[in-house]
Homo-oligomer: A and B are copies of this chain.
């Protein structure tokens, strides 16, 4: 009698990042919920309904999907990247916690996916090869001072940083402020990787040094990786450089 709700990670970009589990779960879903551009990536299947919504409507989308699943349907909520990293799985959990008891009876499955930082890192080498933090620069749901404190703590302790949501129309200055903040802790030569639209036709991946990093290089579709003192760039004749973070730490840099 109780329905099924799956929160499915599509990975970034095209179908090459889909896992076998994601393909299977999407294939048997009776209803798909998600941000419209994600749904547009999916093949149309007879008998499968689609419920597209705007990017900012995460809670409403989660609630609608839960209502539908509680009616006994097999529902899938699609998410770019991994649903558990700055994405739909936490929104679903929030709704379950504050919703009716019937939502706690639902069979809920989270299907992991390739999150943006893994895809960008793979494109350039292995910049996340050692200890790292994933940090959202969005101050929609947390104060900017907290983000500054986390930037200080992470860079000061020698973590590589993967910065999600660096820029949006509503948050134009935060990324420049974050870069400025990180310059207090890291050498000017620290590698910074900008990965935009990885896995899509307009993909762009570039490496600069921290002193040359510029907020205009990032937009809403960009994931930024800021290296640590152990992050190195290998130049290659006729090929793009490799960026990686050494697993060995020679001296305490914190």
Contact = CB atoms under 8 A, between A and B. Distances in A.
Interface of A: 11, 15-21, 23-24, 82-87, 89-94, 96-97, 104-105, 107-108, 110-115, 118-119, 121-123, 125-136, 141-143, 145-146, 149-150, 152-154, 156-159, 232, 234-239, 242, 244-249, 252-254
Nearest to A101: B237
Nearest to A136: B131
Given A18-B19, A20-B15, A93-B234, A126 B83 contact: yes
Contact of A236 (B86, B105, B130, B149): B105
A82 B117 CA distance: 11
- What's the number of copies of this chain in the assembled complex? 2
Contacts of A246: 90, 94
B89 A126 contact: yes
A104 B83 CA distance: 36
B21 A128 contact: no
A240 to B, nearest CB: 10
A99 B104 CA distance: 56
Given A159-B154, A238-B105, A17 B132 contact: no
A89 B20 contact: no
A252 B90 contact: no
Contact of A84 (B94, B128, B157): B128
A41 to B, nearest CB: 13
Given A90-B247, A131-B133, 4 more contacts: A11-B19, A86-B129, A90-B245, A142-B248
Given A85-B128, A105-B237, A128-B84, A242 B96 contact: yes
A104 B239 contact: yes
Contacts of A236: 104-105
Given A104-B234, A248-B142, A125 B18 contact: no
A131 B131 contact: no
Listed residue (A113, A132, A157, A249) with the most chain B CB atoms within 10 angstroms of its CB: A157
B93 A129 contact: yes
A92 B126 CA distance: 9
A128 B142 CA distance: 16
A126 B149 CA distance: 23
Contacts of A126: 83-84, 89-90, 92-93, 110
24 contacts: A16-B20, A82-B118, A84-B129, A86-B129, A89-B126, A90-B244, A90-B246, A94-B246, A97-B232, A97-B244, A105-B237, A107-B239, A110-B126, A112-B122, A130-B136, A131-B133, A131-B135, A146-B249, A146-B252, A149-B158, A152-B157, A153-B157, A153-B254, A154-B157
